[in-house]
Amino acid sequence: MAASHDEGAPEVMNDLEYLGAEIKEARLRAGLSQRQFASGTGFTQSYISKVERGALIPSRKFAQKCDLVLGADGRFERQRERLVKRGHPSWFAPFAKMEAEARAIMVWSVWILPGLLHTEDYARALFRAGNPDVSDEWIEKKVANRMARRGLLTRENPPKFWAIINEASLLSHIGGVRVMRAQLEHLAEAARMPKITLQVLSRTAEAPPATEPFILLEMPQQRTVAYTDTALGGQMATSDDQVEFCRSAFERLRAEALSPTKSIRLIEKIAKELPNEDV
């Protein structure tokens, strides 16, 4: 994921929070409690609460039900469609909330390593490279936020985490040799944790089924969300076609990548073969 678009919610209300607030306001104007609204829409109170807090992208069906129950004449479905189609850095705030609630996280990482597995120095080097003109204080805040996110993998009852990593991301010297060696050692150590699986897609592999990185979040109630990030911004997707594309690509990547055991051996081999000093 691009270093400049994650970590730390924006100070202003993001698009998803705005949509949730609009639905809540319309519900209250209609004199409906969340329980009554749940009965009218056919969705649970928990689901409605998450949408209204901006912690969950509403499904198209839910938006349609909101329009029907609240007499909004298609307003919420249109707002949802505009929101889903627009890529924007503010996407990361709701994504981080959903990430913390996910049962499973699946990552395809192309040029840099997955953010949840970064060391402080590796993350710091990425943030500095992507934002050369910002203050050290800004950089350190971003690093602290990323390290806080990393904690979800070591908490009690963590989500399952499966990452497929392009070998190219292991061969760069981000932050210099010392930083990269420590990062690779941390990666190999993390790969041995019970709920973490890492696979490396060899540089000798043929063209991958997806050339852009993505993340899949398996949420409670059998719901899956996809997140993609580019230099111009991140975007979440919940449509069946988009999620299925990412899921299918991940399955093919998993089949073509090295086994978890061979992947750990390769990571350790690359770390050991790094020169002793930066050149």
Q: Please name the residue ranges forming H helices in 103-158.
A: 120-130, 136-150
Q: How many domains does the chain have?
A: 2
* Tens place of pLDDT per residue across the chain (279 aa): 444 445 543 334 567 788 999 999 999 999 999 999 999 999 999 889 988 988 777 888 999 999 999 999 999 999 888 776 654 445 566 777 788 889 999 999 999 999 999 999 999 999 999 888 888 888 898 898 889 888 899 999 999 999 999 999 999 999 999 999 999 999 999 999 999 999 999 999 988 888 889 999 999 877 898 988 766 566 777 778 889 999 999 999 999 999 999 999 999 999 999 987 765
pTM value is 0.69
Query: Do 114 and 76 share a structural domain?
Result: no
Query: Do 138 and 29 share a structural domain?
Result: no
Task: Report if residue 51 sits inside a domain.
Answer: yes
Query: Do 234 and 107 share a structural domain?
Result: yes
Task: Report if residue 185 sits inside a domain.
Answer: yes
Query: Do 236 and 107 share a structural domain?
Result: yes
Buried b (16+ CB within 10 A) or exposed e, 65-95: bbbebbebeebbbebbeebbeebbbbbbbbb
- The whole-number pLDDT of residue 87 equals 43
Task: Report if residue 279 sits inside a domain.
Answer: no
Task: Report if residue 4 sits inside a domain.
Answer: no
Query: Do 171 and 98 share a structural domain?
Result: yes
Indicate which CATH number applies to the domain containing 29. Answer: 1.10.260.40
The rounded distance, in Å, linking the Cα atoms of 165 and 19 is 35
Task: Report if residue 184 sits inside a domain.
Answer: yes
Task: Report if residue 61 sits inside a domain.
Answer: yes
Query: Do 104 and 188 share a structural domain?
Result: yes
Query: Do 176 and 51 share a structural domain?
Result: no
Range of the domain at 67: 15-85
Q: Please name the residue ranges forming H helices in the chain.
A: 15-29, 34-41, 45-53, 60-70, 75-85, 92-101, 120-130, 136-150, 168-171, 177-190, 240-256, 260-273
End residue of a domain, out of 53, 85, 117:
85
End residue of a domain, out of 85, 100, 129:
85
Task: Report if residue 278 sits inside a domain.
Answer: no
Query: Do 70 and 205 share a structural domain?
Result: no
Task: Report if residue 238 sits inside a domain.
Answer: yes
Indicate which CATH number applies to the domain containing 173. Answer: 3.30.870
Query: Do 140 and 67 share a structural domain?
Result: no
Query: Do 190 and 128 share a structural domain?
Result: yes
Any residues with CB less than 8 A from the CB of 278 and at least 6 apart, and which? Answer: 173, 176, 177, 178
End residue of a domain, out of 85, 110, 139:
85
The rounded distance, in Å, linking the Cα atoms of 77 and 171 is 45
Any residues with CB less than 8 A from the CB of 130 and at least 6 apart, and which? Answer: 2, 3, 4
Longest Cα–Cα distance in the chain: 69
Query: Do 236 and 149 share a structural domain?
Result: yes
Query: Do 230 and 147 share a structural domain?
Result: yes
